[in-house]
Amino acid sequence: GLAPYDEGASGLFKGRARETAELARLVRLAPLTVLYGKSGLGKSSLLQAGLFPLLRAERYLPVLVTIDFGAAAEATPLEQIARRLDQAILDARAEAPARRGSEPPWDYLHRRDLEIWSPDNRLLTPVLVFDQFEALFAQAGDDAGRVEAVFDALADLAENRIPRQVAADRERRAALDLLGQRYRMVIAFRED
């Protein structure tokens, strides 16, 4: 198939202004936005070439996440998310506290001291964009426990629900803003 338009080709991406504006509106309004449609309709292009430039102009930091759910993946799905966030901060030349070791995404995004500053001193809100999320079902095979663990972790992020491990650790909880949700999520997948 054709490769999707990426953010660098946003000037060539035409004809989807209404859909892009509506998607951006939904991201601003809700902590979780779901985009689904038939294969080949241009969901990845809409996200990367349409939504991402609009989000950047509104002081959001889009973080494209395509998780490798395969058994041979070099990192766990949660570590892949954290690494993509680290890389997006670096690529944007933004200032943010460094992640502590293998700090999970939920902990990092709920830190009391988490502020991500753009080079022009604007506070940025990260938007985790999970493109082609259907890969979870295709790559995970029969490992239902692994799929469930990823779903639970993403549900914790989307619902701003305190993970069990955090709830059980008083010291860990004390360093976190348990009520704040200074990030957004977008999950895109094929309708079928």
- In DSSP notation, 59-81 reads TEEEEEE----STT-SS-HHHHH
**pLDDT (0 to 100) of residue 142:** 65
Both tokens assigned to 163: 């993970």
- DSSP, res 47: I
As a whole number, the mean pLDDT across the chain is: 87
Burial (CB count within 10 angstroms: exposed 0-12, middle 13-18, buried 19+), residue 138: exposed
Rounded to whole angstroms, the Cα distance separating 84 from 33 reads: 19
Q: Is the pLDDT of residue 37 over 90?
A: no
Residues 81 and 185: beta-carbon distance below 8 Å: no
Q: What confidence tens digit (pLDDT) does each residue in 70-95 have? A: 778 889 889 999 999 999 999 999 99
Alpha-carbon torsion (65, 31, 43, 14), positive or negative: negative
pLDDT at 189: 85
CA distances 36 to 31, 79, 179, Å, are 17, 25, 29
pLDDT digits (tens, 9 = 90+) for 98-138: 999 989 999 999 999 999 999 999 999 999 999 888 777 66
Q: Which amino acid is at 87?
A: Q
- Per the structure block, which two tokens stand in for 48? 């990367």
Tell me the mean pLDDT in the region 155-166. Answer: 94
